[in-house]
Amino acid sequence: MDYSLDLGAVTRNFGPLLEGLWVTIQLTLAANVIGLVLGFVIALLVMSRVALIRVPATAFVEFFRCTPAIVQIVWFFYCVPMLFNIYLGSMTMGIVALGLNLAAFNGEAYRAAIQSVPREHRDAAVALGLSPLQSTLHIILPTAFRLAIPVLLTNGIVIFQQSALVAIVAVPDLMYEAKSLATKTYRPIETFTIVALVYFAVSFPISQLVGWLERRRSVAMA
């Protein structure tokens, strides 16, 4: 192989990569805000006893879980403006597409957590005279949130990684800047290796945190 490594080509051009990383982080944070809030609403809708509410909410969740994220993003960018006459900036489109995807997955995390609150805890709340609303607010939701945190965090970092997909629709995120840098410098190995390491450096500590939370919880539940 006739290719000598030259990391300088990348380090000299770190500015655009950092700007890209900042865009990626903004995408991730904004998508997580949508995912955490809308996901909770979706969980409530999915558990509704009214079929007219439950069925569309379930369809929403299944659509996002059963199609590739890249197809969702492309569909969003090309079809939403044509179908609904809605034109948003590419960044906003990226945030909304990633946020809706995350909301579907977080919705499932919330639902599973709410349903895994032990029946005995609900019974104890009734025995203590709490109304259904008080029991939901003071017992079920706080317990469920704690149970859901590791999954919500994991979904959050998955979205950080998935956000690289919006590069294909010209959002200037980390991946987008990396591609243009690689093209400009003819240094794809150095560029993409460093970019991979950057994604890893952000994701790894959070995934360790998730592992630690889960170990702590299995001790707490014992």
DSSP states along 7-73: THHHHTTHHHHHHHHHHHHHHHHHHHHHHHHHHHHHHHHHT-S-HHHHHHHHHHHHHHHSS-HHHHH
Instruction: Go through the chain and tell me how many residues it has.
Output: 222
39 and 106 Cβ atoms separated by less than 8 Å: yes
CB of 106 to other proteins, least distance (A): 20
Cβ neighbors of 184 (< 8 A, separation 6 or more) are 13
Asked if residues 163 and 98 have their Cβ atoms less than 8 Å apart, the reply is yes
Candidate residues 8, 86, 123, 196; the one interacting with other proteins per rule CB under 8 A: 123
Identify which of residues 50 and 222 has a Cβ nearer to other proteins in the complex: 222
CA-to-CA distance for 85 and 188, rounded, in angstroms?
A: 38
What is the DSSP secondary structure assignment for residue 139, as one 8-state letter? I
37 binds other proteins (CB under 8 A): no
How far apart (Å, rounded) are the C-alpha atoms in residues 144 and 141? 5
115 vs 134, beta carbon nearer other proteins: 134
Q: How far is the CB of 152 from other proteins (least distance, A)?
A: 16
Site for other proteins in 193-222 (CB under 8 A): 219-221
Among 126, 170, 196, 197, binds other proteins (CB under 8 A): 126
Structure tokens that stand for 103 in this block? 């909301």
Q: Which amino acid is at 126?
A: V
Does 127 participate in binding other proteins (rule CB under 8 A)?
Answer: yes
Q: Which stretch binds other proteins (CB under 8 A): 42-50, 120-128, 151-159, 180-188?
A: 120-128
CB 178 within 8 A of CB 19: no
- Give the residue with the Cβ less far from other proteins, 89 or 129: 129
Query: Min. distance of Cβ 44 from other proteins in angstroms?
Result: 20
Return the residues of window 143-162 that contact other proteins according to CB under 8 A.
143, 146
Is residue 70 involved in binding other proteins (CB under 8 A)? no
Q: Which is nearer to other proteins, 83 or 127 (CB)?
A: 127
129 binds other proteins (CB under 8 A): yes
Please report whether residue 62 would count as binding other proteins according to CB under 8 A: no
| Residues in contact with other proteins by the rule CB under 8 A | 118, 120-121, 123-124, 126-130, 134, 138-139, 142-143, 146, 219-221
